[in-house]
Amino acid sequence: MVGTVSRIFQIWTGPFAARFLVACLTSSMAVLFLAAAPASAQTPDWLKGVFGDNSSSGQPANARTRDTQAAPPLNDLRPGSSPMRSDAMLGAINGAIERYSQIQAKGGWPTIPGKRTMRPGDDDERLPIVRKRLAATGDLRSGGSNSYSFDGELEAAVRRYQERHGLRVSGRVDPATIQAMNIPVEVRVNQLKLNYQRVDQLIGQQVEPRYVMVNVAGFQLEAVYQNIVELRHRVIAGKPGRQTPEVKAAIRALNFFPYWRVPDSVATLDLIPRLRKEPEYLVKEQIKVLSGAFNGPVLDASTIDWTSADATRIKFRQEPGTQNALGLVRLDMPNEHGVYMHDTPMKPLFGQRARDFSAGCVRVQDVFDLAAWIGRDEPGMDRKRIDEILAGGNAVDVVLKMPVPVYFTYITAWAEQDGLVAFRPDIYGRDGSRDVAGDHDPDAPPLPHQASALAP
């Protein structure tokens, strides 16, 4: 209806009036999708009030969307069994460099003007440009045309483009999608070359027969054995102000029902400011205040003046349990940055495409499957044993006799052997180009304050 009215008005009064009419008749809505949490890690009560109870469908019963077609489930993990850290990946990236260099030699792709969203069913004078842009990279498979109508074929092409660029897959040409489409081809070529070097450097190190690799920029993890990916997991990484560093370490222990010893930085920036407004938060989240050190005597929190509290003089320790910010297991990997991998009670956040919410550590979806994979060479340590530990509810530390190497990396562009080329926003600005620096999708569901605070 909007597209038809817009086209008639365009004929009567020209493009400007048509744009004005569309802007007046359209609006956007955010949709919140939830990932189901296992019974062993319930969502805290304060988070249920914001997200609602988790369900197997991953979507609240009262969720509504402007679009007639529901958003598809996330499909943002790499396919296949070939690791990111492999010669096969280098060959695929090199092929992508050649393809994009050919596009560059032919003059690149057109720039889409304006930021106004184009939706399926709309008529818009920019749609022929969008078609040419998507045809240039093969997302629109029938080639470009001069049609002003946003039809089903174009919507499918937009969805393909959004998925391989890590954008919210809506089928709409929204501001975030326009911004990504307008990145010049020469910038994409340079980005592919830079990431080729990053993968090459990883291969240049000794490639162990068994290891875990986290791609922070891609928000995903690969567990690799004999050059075959045996597990992939979605992860949550550090927010731009508290970046997850690049790390080479080894997983040396599995800590079930861990304490969370709140780092001074989190205490200063997050916890103490919160306690000034909500001192009862300590009781609700089972956090104790200690004098001087994490093994110091417990203090009476009601006697502390939070307006002048100093995180260098007091420490905070959260008790084990489902409310614990580390969830029910921590993967201990000693390193100079003090980061590690762990479970989380905030499992709905795995339903977001951009997952930069932590204070630097890496939270892993379905982490107990990964823990079983890590511990499978240890006597008596398998998924059944892990389930028994979780059912028991007591702290258990499993020290690995065979530590597993782990790499935290930062890969913002890669390619698959079937020709698919994937890009991700440069969330930390490490690619050296303002064009690819990632902004959050302006139409994405808003996150509660609690979702990003007080978490490692």
Structure tokens at 250: 């080894």
Is residue 338 predicted with pLDDT exceeding 80?
yes
Examine the fold and report which residue of 279, 299, 319 is the final residue of a domain before the chain moves on: 319
pLDDT band at 456 (very low <50, low <70, confident <90, very high): confident
Residues 294 and 377 in one domain: no
Angle at which helix 87-105 crosses helix 185-204, to 10 degrees, equals: 160
Domain count, the chain: 2
* 242 lies in the same domain as 337: yes
SS3 81: coil
**Mean pLDDT, residues 429-455:** 64
3-state percent breakdown (helix, strand, coil) of the chain, nearest 5: 35, 20, 50
The answer to whether residue 426 sits within a structural domain is yes
Q: Name residue, tokens 């951009």.
A: 354
Cα distance between residue 211 and residue 249, in whole Å? 10
Pair (230, 306) in one structural domain = no
Determine, yes or no, domain membership for 356.
yes
Domain final residue pick, 319, 335, 363: 319
Phi-psi map region of 14: left, alpha, beta (phi>0 left; psi -120 to 50 alpha): left
Task: Indicate if 353 and 456 belong to the same structural domain.
Answer: yes
pLDDT digits (tens, 9 = 90+) for 228-267: 999 999 999 999 999 999 999 999 999 999 999 998 889 9
251 and 223 within one domain: yes
Q: How high is the pLDDT of residue 68? A: 40
Compute the mean pLDDT over every residue in the chain, rounded to the nearest whole number.
84
Kindly state whether residue 137 falls inside one of the protein's structural domains: no
| 327 lies in the same domain as 378 | yes
What does 174-189 look like in DSSP terms, one character per residue? -HHHHHHHTS-HHHHH
Question: Residues 344, 290: one domain?
Answer: no
CA–CA distance, 365 with 359 (Å, rounded to integer): 17
Average pLDDT value for residue range 394-417: 96
Considering the domain architecture, whether residues 309 and 340 belong to the same structural domain is answered as no
How far apart, in whole angstroms, are the C-alpha atoms of residue 279 and residue 137? 54
Residues 310 and 251 in one domain: no
**Residue with more model confidence, 62 or 435:** 435
Q: Say whether pLDDT at 85 is over 90.
A: yes
Q: Which residues contact 48 (CB under 8 A, 6 or more apart)?
A: none
Residue 346 falls inside a structural domain:
yes
Q: Which two tokens stand for residue 436?
A: 């690819």
- pTM for the structure as a whole: 0.81
- Mean pLDDT, range 20-27, rounded to an integer: 35
pLDDT per residue over 88-147, tens digit each?
Answer: 999 999 999 999 999 999 999 999 999 999 999 999 999 999 999 999 999 998 876 789
Q: Determine which helix (DSSP H) or strand (DSSP E) holds 421, and give its type and residue range.
A: strand 421-423
pLDDT, tens digit, 9 for 90 and up, residues 53-72: 333 333 333 333 334 445 56
Mean pLDDT over 366-385 rounds to: 95
Q: Which of 319, 341, 356 represents a domain boundary (last residue)?
A: 319
Asked if residue 222 is part of any domain, the answer here is yes
For residue 27, pLDDT over 50 is answered with no
CATH of the domain at 351: 2.40.440.10
Q: Show the CA angle centred on residue 436, arms to residues 433 and 437, nearest 5°.
A: 85
Q: What range does the domain containing 304 cover?
A: 259-319
CA–CA dist 186, 184 (Å, integer): 5
Crossing angle for the helix pair 2-13 and 15-25, nearest 10 degrees? 150
Q: For residue 435, what pLDDT is reported?
A: 76
User: Is the pLDDT reported for residue 33 higher than 70?
Assistant: no
pLDDT of 441 higher than 60: no
- In this structure, is residue 388 part of a structural domain? yes
Predicted pLDDT at 207: 79
Is 369 within the bounds of a domain? Answer: yes
Residue 228 lies in a domain: yes
If one compares 213 and 4, the residue with the highest pLDDT of the two is 213
